[in-house]
Structure 1
Amino acid sequence: MQHRIIPKTGDKLPVLGFGAMRFPETAGRIDRAKASEMLAYAIENGVNYIDTAVPYHKGQSESFIGDFLEKEGLRDKVFIATKLPHWSVRNPDDISRIFEKQLKDLKTGYIDYYLLHSLSGESWHNLDDLGIKKFLDLEKASGRIRNAGFSFHGDIESFKDVVNAYPWEFCQIQYNFLDEKNQAGTEGLKYAAKSGLAVMVMEPLRGGNLAGNIPENIMDIWKSAKVHRTPAEWALRWVWNHPEVTTVLSGMSSIDQVKENIRVAEDAFPASLSEDELIVIGKVRDKYKETMKVGCTGCRYCMPCPAGVDIPSCFEYYNSYHMFKNGNWAKWQYVFRSHGIMDGKKSHASLCTGCGRCKKACPQHIDIPLRLKEVAKDFDTPVTKAFSGIAGFYLTLRGKISEVLKIKKKVR
C-alpha cells in the first residue's frame, strides 16, 4: 500500500482510507459478519485509516467499529477518524457530551483524527461562538484528540476562512473529476495543501454514481481508451493523480470493492496519468456535463442572494439528480443541507423571490429565477418539506431536553 505523509506530524497514511458509511446491511442493521470480513482484509492489506461518524448507518457505525477493533485487538494498528455533528451542538456542554459518547462507542481512549462534521461558513461561526477552539486545544493537550480537522461542504471563500481560523492538521473535501469547481474544488485542495494541511478526499465516486449504472455513451468513451479500466478505477486514479491529496476515502460495500480498490491504490502515483488518459477523462467529464439541466459553472457571481438561496448548490444537486440514475442521493443531500437540518440555515430554491439580481450578474446568462422554480418543483415537495420540518423539530426538541437535564443535574 502506498503512503503519503501528513505535513505537520509526519504520520504516514495509506492513500486509500475505509469510509465506514456503506457497509452491507441485513434488515436495516450492519451485517457484522460481512463488514468484519471487509475490515479485516483491508487492514491486513494496509488500509488502516477508518473514517466514521455519528450518523453513519443510523448511529451504528461507531459502535460496530469499536466492537470489531476490540475483538480483533487491532486498535493500535489503525487510525480512527470520526466527527463532531455540529447540528447536535446547542451549547458548549454538548460538545464534550458527544465526544465522551464517541470514545465510549469506539472503545478507545483517544481519536487519531477528529473532524468537525460537514462545515459551511455559518456552522463554523456557530461552533466558534460555542468555544470549539478551546475544546480542541484542551483535548489535543490531553492526547485524547491527536489531530484536529474538519470536513467541508460550503463555498471556496468560506473554506479558506475555516482553513485560516485554526491550526488544523487536516481537512476533508468532496473531490472528483466532476467537482473541480464545486465546493472547495481544486482551488481549495491547493490552498489547504499550501497551508500545510493534509487533505482527505470524500466522494471520489460521487456517491458511487461514477462507478455503477454508467450511461452507454459514457461507457463508449471509457472503452475507447488504450488502457482498459473500470469506471471506478478511472475516477480513483484521477484523484490520486493530484500530489496534494493525502488519503482517498472509499465507502466500500463489498469485499470485491475492497480488493479492487486496494489493487488500484498500489500504483496510482501522483502525476502518473498520461496526457492521453487525461484527455479521455476530460471527454467523459464533458459528456456528463452535456446532460446537466442547468449550465452553472459554480462561479458564484450570483451570490449572495438577498433571499438566502444558495444558488450554485441548488443547481449542483439538481444537475446531479438528473445526470445519474441514482438521483435520489443528490435529492436527499439537498434536503439535508438546504433545508437547514444540518446547520439551521435554510437556503433552498423555493426561498427565491424572483428579484432578478442573480440573473443580471450571471456570466452564463442563465435565467436563474426560472430555473430555481424548476429545482423547487422537483425538490421542495410537500414530502421533503414535511421531512425537514420533522427532522428540525426533533433536533430542537433533543437540544431542549438536553438543557433541562443539565439544569436538573446542577440543581442536584
Structure 2
Amino acid sequence: MIYREFKKGKIKVSSLGFGAMRFPTIKNEGDIDVLKTERMLDYAIENGVNYIDTAYPYHDGMSEPFLGHYIEKRKIREKIYLATKMPVWLVEKKEDFDFYFNTQLNRLRTDYIDFYLLHSLWKKSWEKVRDLGVIDWLINKKKEGKIRYFGFSFHDEFEVFKEIVDYYDWDFAQIQLNYMDVDYQAGERGLLYAYKKGIQVIIMEPIKGGKLANPPERVLKVLKEFDPKRTPVEWALSFVLNKKEVFTVLSGMSALEHVKENIRIASKYDVGCLTKEEEEILKEAREEWLKIKFIDCTNCKYCLPCPFGVNIPKNFEIYN
C-alpha cells in the first residue's frame, strides 16, 4: 500500500480508503452481511488500508453501528482513521449538532472522530448550518479532542464550492471526481482551487458507482487498444491516484474481489503515474462515452426514500 502525507506529514493515510456505503447485504440495505463484510474489512486492513469512511444514513443507519462493533471487536481503533459525517439535512437547530454527533459516537463506540465532515453540502444546506454556527461548533469539538480534523463533502456547482472553501481554513474537502466527471460539480477546477488554498482533497466515486468498471463497448475498445491487459477499474483509479492534490481515494467496495483488485491498483499507482499519452487515452474514452445518451447516476441513493415510493436509482439503471 502507498501512503500519502496529510497536513505535511502529521499523519500518513493509505491512498485507498474504504467507503462503508456499499457493503454486501442480505434482505435489504440495513441488513449487512456480517461475515462477508468482516472478511472484506479484515483483508483491507491487513493489506494496509487505514482510512474508513462512513456516514449517519449509510445502509439505512446501520453502517455506523456495524463499524463500531467491528472496530471494537478487532481492537483496531488506534490503527485506523475513522471518518463520518454530520447529516446536515436533519439539522434544524443548534442543539441538533450535539444530538447527531453524540449519537454517532455511541454508534461507533468511540470518543473521538479522526475526520469529521459536513455531509453532502449544497448551497442551501451550507447556508443553513453556517447560520446556525456550525464552524464555531466544529472548532469547539476540535478543542475538546472529539474531532481531529474537519471538512465537508460536496454536491453542488463549482461557484458554491468556491464560496464554501473561501469561508474557512478547512482541514480537507471531499469531492466526486473520475475521468468522466472532470467538469461535474466541483470537478477538476474545484480540486485545484482547494489545493491552492492549502486544502487537501478526498475523492469519492472514482469508479462512478461501479459504472467505469463496465464501460460500453466503444469505450472499452479505446482502452483495450492502448493496453489490452489493463482493466477498466485500473484506468479509473489511476486517473485520480495520479493527482498530487488527492490524499486518499474512497471506494465503496461490495465484494472481496473488489477489495483485492483495488488494493493491488492502489499499491501500484502513485502521484504522476500516468503519461501524457495515457491521459489523452482517458480523454478519448470520455469523449466516446459522452456520445451515448445516459442518465448520470452513481447509485448513491441520496434521492431515497422517494415520497412516491419510486426506486429512482434502479429505474435509471434499467434505462441506461
Question: Which deviations, in whole Å up to 9, do the C-alpha atoms of 1:170-213 show, x marking residues without a partner?
Answer: 1100000111111111111011111111200000011111113x
Structure 1 counterpart of 2:159, which letter? Answer: E
Which residue in 1 is equivalent to 2:308? 386
Structure 1 counterpart of 2:40, which letter? Answer: M
Which residue in 1 is equivalent to 2:14? 14
- After TM superposition, list the pairs within 5 Å mapping 1:394-409 onto structure 2: none
Question: Which deviations, in whole Å up to 9, do the C-alpha atoms of 1:64-111 show, x marking residues without a partner?
Answer: 000001001011100000000001101011110000010000000000
Which residue in 2 is equivalent to 1:91? 93
Distance 1:75 1:328 in 2: 30
SS in 1 for 2:82: strand
Matched, 1:329 2:304: no
Q: How many residues align?
A: 308
220 and 34 in structure 1: CA distance in 2 versus 1, 3 angstrom threshold: same
Which residue in 2 is equivalent to 1:320? 295
Name whichever of 163-172 and 135-144 sits farther off. 163-172
SS in 2 for 1:178: coil
Distance 2:9 2:128 in 1: 28
Which residue in 1 is equivalent to 2:317? none
Distance 2:171 2:298 in 1: 34
Distance 1:87 1:8 in 2: 33
Shift of 1:279: 2.3
Distance 1:164 1:100 in 2: 28
Taking structure 1 as the reference length, what is the TM-score of the superposition? 0.72
Shift of 1:8: 5.8
Question: Which deviations, in whole Å up to 9, do the C-alpha atoms of 1:118-143 show, x marking residues without a partner?
Answer: 00122111001111012101100000
Question: Which deviations, in whole Å up to 9, do the C-alpha atoms of 1:240-285 show, x marking residues without a partner?
Answer: 1111111000000111110110100112111211222222212210
Taking structure 2 as the reference length, what is the TM-score of the superposition? 0.92
Which residue in 2 is equivalent to 1:122? 124
> Is the 1:23–1:253 Cα contact (8 Å) retained in structure 2?
yes
Which residue in 2 is equivalent to 1:286? 287
Distance 2:266 2:298 in 1: 29
Distance 1:134 1:245 in 2: 27
Distance 1:96 1:153 in 2: 24
Which residue in 2 is equivalent to 1:209? 211
SS in 1 for 2:148: coil
Distance 1:245 1:282 in 2: 20
Shift of 1:50: 0.2
SS in 2 for 1:151: strand
Name whichever of 214-223 and 156-165 sits farther off. 214-223
Report the structure, 1 or 2, having the larger strand content.
Answer: 2
Which residue in 2 is equivalent to 1:157? 159
Matched, 1:80 2:82: yes
Structure 1 counterpart of 2:295, which letter? Answer: S
Distance 2:213 2:128 in 1: 36
SS in 1 for 2:281: helix
Which residue in 1 is equivalent to 2:2? 2
226 and 210 in structure 1: CA distance in 2 versus 1, 3 angstrom threshold: closer
> Is the 2:203–2:246 Cα contact (8 Å) retained in structure 1?
yes
Which residue in 2 is equivalent to 1:141? 143
Shift of 1:221: 1.7
Distance 1:8 1:386 in 2: 49
SS in 2 for 1:237: helix
58 and 144 in structure 1: CA distance in 2 versus 1, 3 angstrom threshold: same
Distance 1:3 1:68 in 2: 24
> Is the 1:53–1:82 Cα contact (8 Å) retained in structure 2?
yes
Aligned Cα RMSD in Å?
1.8
Distance 1:14 1:251 in 2: 15
Structure 2 counterpart of 1:256, which letter? Answer: E
- After TM superposition, list the pairs within 5 Å mapping 1:94-113 onto structure 2: 94-113=96-115
Shift of 1:167: 2.1
Matched, 1:25 2:19: no
Q: Which of 55, 62, 69 is matched with 1:67 structurally?
A: 69
> Is the 1:153–1:173 Cα contact (8 Å) retained in structure 2?
yes
Shift of 1:385: 5.8
> Is the 1:8–1:196 Cα contact (8 Å) retained in structure 2?
no
Distance 1:167 1:121 in 2: 18
> Is the 1:7–1:197 Cα contact (8 Å) retained in structure 2?
no
> Is the 2:205–2:298 Cα contact (8 Å) retained in structure 1?
no
Distance 1:328 1:209 in 2: 8
> Is the 1:114–1:149 Cα contact (8 Å) retained in structure 2?
yes
Shift of 1:387: 4.7
Question: Which deviations, in whole Å up to 9, do the C-alpha atoms of 1:10-39 show, x marking residues without a partner?
Answer: 221110000001110111210011101111
Which consecutive residues of structure 1, in runs of 5 or more, have no partner in the other structure? 293-318, 322-326, 342-383, 389-412
Shift of 1:6: 1.4
**Percent of aligned pairs sharing the same letter:** 45
Which consecutive residues of structure 2, in runs of 5 or more, have no partner in the other structure? 311-320
Distance 2:249 2:299 in 1: 20
> Is the 1:42–1:258 Cα contact (8 Å) retained in structure 2?
yes
Which residue in 2 is equivalent to 1:303? none
Which residue in 1 is equivalent to 2:189? 187
Distance 2:8 2:116 in 1: 15
**Structure with the greater relative contact order (CA < 8 A, sep ≥ 6): 1 or 2?**
2
Distance 2:198 2:291 in 1: 37
> Is the 2:3–2:14 Cα contact (8 Å) retained in structure 1?
yes
Matched, 1:132 2:107: no
Which residue in 2 is equivalent to 1:223? 224
